[in-house]
Amino acid sequence: MTELFLTDDQLVLLTGYKRRHKQIAWLRARKIPLIVSAAGFPIVAARELERRLVQDPKIRTKDRPRLEVVR
């Protein structure tokens, strides 16, 4: 089963930031749906992110993060 939400490490990889407020700003600037927890952590649904970044042709290429497979 895939994880429901992105992990902290995945958020760092996606946004390029370790600080929560920077991650939140990056996600909001790209209109990626998120919830901010009571502790201030961004929570992003993995399925929604996949749908928006992979399947939605309306999202401009420059707004998509560059994800590389590391082997």
Task: Write out the residue range of the structural domain in which residue 33 sits.
Answer: 8-63
Q: Number of structural domains, the chain?
A: 1
Q: What is the pLDDT of residue 57?
A: 59
**CA–CA gap between residue 12 and residue 35 (Å, rounded):** 16
**pLDDT tens string 28-56:** 998 899 999 999 999 999 998 888 777 66
Paired tokens of 10 = 């995945």
Q: Is the pLDDT of residue 2 over 50?
A: yes
Q: Is residue 70 part of a domain?
A: no
Question: What is the structure's pLDDT at 42?
Answer: 97
- 1 belongs to a structural domain: no
User: Is there a domain that residue 27 lies in?
Assistant: yes
pLDDT in tens, 15-29: 999 999 999 999 999
- Examine the pLDDT at 12 and tell me if it is beyond 70: yes
Q: Are the beta carbons of 5 and 44 closer than 8 angstroms?
A: yes
Kindly state whether residue 35 falls inside one of the protein's structural domains.
Answer: yes
Q: Would residue 19 count as lying in a domain?
A: yes
